[in-house]
Structure 1
Amino acid sequence: MAATAGAGMAREPNLLMRIASRPTALIGLIIVTIVIVLSVLAPLIAPYAPGQIAVRFRLQGPSLAHLMGTDELGRDVFSRVLHSGRTSLGVGFAVVIFASLIGVTLGLVAGFFRRFDAPVSRLIDAMMAFPDILLAIALVAALGPSATNVVIALGIVYAPRLARVVRASTLVIRELPYVEAARALGVPTPVILVRHVLRNVTSPLLVQATFIFANAILAEAGLSFLGVGISPDIPTWGTMISVGRQFLDQAPWIMWFPGSAIILTVLSLQLLGDGLRDFLDPRLAKDV
């Protein structure tokens, strides 16, 4: 008993040392948390409504009254950046959920059932052969510009990435002794997939989800910038940059601040995902 307790106490400092050795992951988590909190509390924090127009104050630089200046219609850029974060982060999170539903299902089916492996794998390869942004533009153009259709399009685009990860892990897990024992005991296949397979692919799935979250924010901004994404009436970081480029010489802050928000959010998510990969991957854990 004492030896077990001593071993547990010996492992705890090791975990703390691993976390402390990756300050970039901690920084990424802190920044992401701050961005999410500011976006969620935007109605309480923003000094103005995102659509409040004051033409007489148009194209004014940053000041105490308008921390990030005003745009071409006199709207407060700071307020719009906060409210745009709600939309951009919401779309990114919804894309992760939708892509996970499709990707995990395809990956489990392809990895666990041999007869479905070849056709599903070919479907995944075919989808990944297209550049992400081109496939997203084509899907949004076919479905129509709206937040829901952007989520569907980007979810379809990023689902193959998750499917490949889940499939590769499932191919290994299905041959392990405890899975074979569950089959021999007559455990239903859905139970095996959820209880024994899905639980063991959670770690790589979580890492991929952080990267897809970052890529989805970038893709949504790109679609909105091109005018084929979310309706221009809804503030997003991409639409703010698209409008701001017309006034780059007169009021560069219209582009600077939403662009900085995108860079900061995506970079922090990448740092967080990289740290999670090091913590959760046993092949890399020993080097952390």
Structure 2
Amino acid sequence: MKIALTGASGLVGRFLLRGLASRGHEVVALGRRPANGAEWRGWQLGETAPLDGCDALVHAAFSHLPGRYRGGEGDDSEGFLRLNRDGSLRLFKEAQAVGLGRIVFLSSRAVYGDYPPGTELTEDLPPRPDTLYGEMKWAVEQELSALAGPGFATASLRATGVYGPGPDHKWRGLFETFLANKPVAPRVATELHGDDLAAAVALLLEASEASLAPRSFNASDIRLDRRDLLERVARIAGQGGALPERADASRVSAMRCDRLRELGWRPRDMEGLDAALREML
């Protein structure tokens, strides 16, 4: 399958590119800069997309302030929505018009929003976003779902925080702080290896059209306390600073991923974390 991938050079997109290519798909990277291992076509959100010759689209591009997702609009909420919400809808309609058969959109757990801490986030819970980021992702999900029909399958993947090896991985600053024996604040969060996210995207691209009927799919794996994470870092690196206090895990709302698991998706769980950490360190 020839797949157009937006955001291929980003923190998450690089996992998607590698994962799709490793499964034999031909990837066309749409973005502002080239991505290693793929044909590159210059494009950015809001522009007409060069989709000719492609069979499917994976949309992972996202315009935001550097390093910020929730709150990534800064002081320009209108511009944020124009690029991310309206630009995405334009992209989807263009894909439909040129005859692509399938779209997978990278959404976020932020669509669940203000459920009480500790709520089990199942895929049948109505979204209740409480940030502009979550509202935007939920709006795009609905717009995409409305386009679906025979021969044009769509799916939105509600991903949690993504970790994995790379020169600019998400924990780089945290590890540097810890290894320099500086204080680290307690925190616990849900995490997903980028390669497992790529496997989920590949499943949604390759599954039958009927199996995508739910339209939205949760993608999450481990609940990880910083104390446990940094204990592993210290063991692997042979050094480390003071460990933070353990955070209150009962206040973390974990996502159930029943729909992906029904398709055969199996993330690596805690067993895969040490291998990833060795690469990151």
TM range (shorter): under 0.3
Computing the radius of gyration from Cα coordinates, the structure with the larger value is: 1
TM-score by length of 2: 0.24
**Higher strand fraction: Structure 1 or Structure 2?**
2
Relative contact order: is structure 1 or structure 2 higher (C-alpha 8 Å, sep ≥ 6)? 1
